[in-house]
């Protein structure tokens, strides 16, 4: 990405020109949520000002237009993930809701007492707790794939965890703490040898690397709109038709039914079976706009620029004495978690904030991972395609200052 292109991109994100405490904002908390380009915000505005009516119900003009926009958004999401059929895309509130949907509905259809679910040590709470809740409901066991000291999955250990009781494997494509890009194609291939389906948590991958759910052969793949420059409150679940058809609805209500009598209700077909109630139809349309935005830049270009930032950021951070980078996998996305000496991550984050730099501190909703590493948490800088090496320079200078103050 050349300098002018980067400047043009940054101009699309008004918040990047804001001042925080009179300092230029440096936003390195993209793992938590990303900033929104003008095109996405304008799409929301256009939706509410010109296209707002409840979808799938009205015969009137606005309702039809809003329905068309929502269904076109579904096709955009399907194409983005390279899904075979757009009926395999279910809109959800985000990654968390999508995983809860699968844990509940898949669990209801296919799991019983004594069965097992496999997750990894580096999962976000939203890919642990819904499975734990399923295990509690059904009397099942949660098994955990360990990682090595670099933060890479132990594939040999993973193989030994799979057996005839394993009903599903659920794993992050990219760790939000370590940045590790997990070898999900291999994870899926190994599970499929035993006919075990795999859910991939794509919250941290979809915004950063090209994803092809059919090539991966993922059974379920989930992500959040707000982490890929789209609005909050919208995300998607991709599920293979054969699974989604065999799973009961997650929630009951309007839209998800075919017929209702007090004696019996029959359910709508895919994808509507899983979209009870009024969907986030303005959000879905704005999410599609966000996907078009990143596609126009190109996912390969985004991945290459962010990789440059990762390499440069890692090099520059290593200048600092006492620097310890948590997560040094060979395959990494643009996330750098670190600690400096014995300084508490929270203190670093607080002082960086005063200098206009937004980073994340704490356990990053991955407490079991942080506990397993025996650390209090980390400081996390997570980069997006609109970040620059110059910002990294300012960040490293600020961090050096902060470290001297806290040592």
Would you tell me which residues interact with ligand PMP (CB under 6 A)? Answer: 32, 94-96, 124, 126-127, 172, 176, 201, 203-204, 224, 365
Nearer of residues 94 and 271 to ligand PMP, judged by Cβ: 94
CA distances from 70 to 66, 208, 233, 237, 400 (A): 6, 24, 14, 15, 48
- Minimum Å distance from CB 126 to ligand PMP? 4
- Minimum Å distance from CB 48 to ligand PMP? 22
The label of the residue with tokens 């095109």 reads 39
Nearer of residues 222 and 352 to ligand PMP, judged by Cβ: 222
The active-site residue out of 168, 171, 247, 365 is: 365
- Minimum Å distance from CB 197 to ligand PMP? 18
- Minimum Å distance from CB 243 to ligand PMP? 20
Nearer of residues 357 and 365 to ligand PMP, judged by Cβ: 365
- Minimum Å distance from CB 176 to ligand PMP? 3
Q: Is 135 a residue of the active site?
A: no
Nearer of residues 201 and 289 to ligand PMP, judged by Cβ: 201
Nearer of residues 124 and 240 to ligand PMP, judged by Cβ: 124
Rounded CA gap, 196 and 168, in Å? 6
Residue (of 99, 96, 100, 91) closest to 283 by Cα position: 91
- Minimum Å distance from CB 264 to ligand PMP? 34
Nearer of residues 70 and 208 to ligand PMP, judged by Cβ: 208
| 222 contacts: CB under 8 Å, gap ≥ 6 | 92, 95, 98, 99, 102, 199, 200, 201, 202, 203, 235, 236, 237, 238
Contact 206, 228 (CB under 8 A): yes
Residues that are catalytic: 365
């Amino acid at each position: 990405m050349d300098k002018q292109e980067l400047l043009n991109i940054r101009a699309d994100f008004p918040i990047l020109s804001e001042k925080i405490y009179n300092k230029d904002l440096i936003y390195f908390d993209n793992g938590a949520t990303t900033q929104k380009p003008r095109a996405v915000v304008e799409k929301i505005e256009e939706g509410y000002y010109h296209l707002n009516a409840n979808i799938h119900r009205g015969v009137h003009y606005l309702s039809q237009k809003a329905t068309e926009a929502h269904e076109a958004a579904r096709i955009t999401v399907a194409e983005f993930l390279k899904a075979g059929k757009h009926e395999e895309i279910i809109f959800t509130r985000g990654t968390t809701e999508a995983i809860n949907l699968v844990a509940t509905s898949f669990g209801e259809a296919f799991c019983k007492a004594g069965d097992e679910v496999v997750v990894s040590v580096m999962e976000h709470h939203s890919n642990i707790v819904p499975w734990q809740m399923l295990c509690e409901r059904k009397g099942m066991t949660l098994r955990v794939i360990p990682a090595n000291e670099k933060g890479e999955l132990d594939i040999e250990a993973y193989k030994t965890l799979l057996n005839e009781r394993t009903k599903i494997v659920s794993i992050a494509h990219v760790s939000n703490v370590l940045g590790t890009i997990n070898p999900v194609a291999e994870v899926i291939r190994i599970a499929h040898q035993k006919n075990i389906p795999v859910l991939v948590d794509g919250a941290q991958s979809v915004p950063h690397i090209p994803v092809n759910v059919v090539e991966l052969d993922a059974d379920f793949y989930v992500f959040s709109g707000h982490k890929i420059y789209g609005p909050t409150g919208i995300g998607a679940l991709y599920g293979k038709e054969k699974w989604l058809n065999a799973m009961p609805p997650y929630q009951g209500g309007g839209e998800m039914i075919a017929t209702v009598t007090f004696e019996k209700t029959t359910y709508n077909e895919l994808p509507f079976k899983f979209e009870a109630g009024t969907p986030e139809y303005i959000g879905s349309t704005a999410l599609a706009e966000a996907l078009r935005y990143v596609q126009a830049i190109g996912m390969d270009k985004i991945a290459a620029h962010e990789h440059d930032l990762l390499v440069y950021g890692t090099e520059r951070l290593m200048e600092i004495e006492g620097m310890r980078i948590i997560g040094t996998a060979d395959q990494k996305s643009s996330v750098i978690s670190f600690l400096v000496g014995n300084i508490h991550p929270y203190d670093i984050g607080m002082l960086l904030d005063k200098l206009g730099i937004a980073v994340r501190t704490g356990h990053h909703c991955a407490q079991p991972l942080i506990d397993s590493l025996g650390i209090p948490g980390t400081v996390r800088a997570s980069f997006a395609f609109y970040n620059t090496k110059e910002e990294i320079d300012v960040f490293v200078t600020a961090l050096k200052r902060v470290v001297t103050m806290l040592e």
